[in-house]
Amino acid sequence: MTGLADKHPFERAPGTPALTTSQIQESMPELPGWTVENGRLVREVTVKNFSAALDLVDRIGKLAEQENHHPDLCIRRWNHVRVEFYTHTVEGLTENDLIMAARINRLPGMEPEVQS
């Protein structure tokens, strides 16, 4: 079986429904560090400093651009990066959101502890 991180997002057919809560929960073991908040897939990471936060946001942005599936990104309190996925066209989460979360988890710097 192929894991989420080994897949790539793809355009969904019009009318594709959002994932159910059960479908999302089944995938959560593949997404350590991610939670679901208000229907959005969320990850917060603390890094060493503002420069590291900018670097992490840049790397996430490059991956998102490459895969054509983009999260909301926010740097808070100079060293906290928040990543959120939500597919607006279905008003919920799709497999693409889960795939991108898993792929982002593979990026250096996505460990839950403070990074150097």
The DSSP-derived string for the chain is ---GGGS---PPPTTPPPPPHHHHHHHGGGSTT-EEETTEEEEEEE-SSHHHHHHHHHHHHHHHHHHT---EEEEETTTEEEEEE-BTTTTB--HHHHHHHHHHHTSTT-SSSPP-
Domain contains 6: no
C-alpha Rg value of the chain to the nearest Å? 14
Residue-number span of the structural domain to which 79 is assigned: 34-116
**What total number of domains does the chain contain?**
1
The domain that contains 96 carries what CATH number?
A: 3.30.1360.20
- Residue type at 106? R
What tens digit of pLDDT does each residue of 52-75 get? 999 999 999 999 999 999 999 999
Does 74 fall in a domain? yes
In this prediction, residues 6-18 reach a mean pLDDT of: 91
pLDDT tier, 110 (very low <50, low <70, confident <90, very high otherwise): confident
Give me the pLDDT at residue 2, please: 63
Is position 5 within any domain? Answer: no
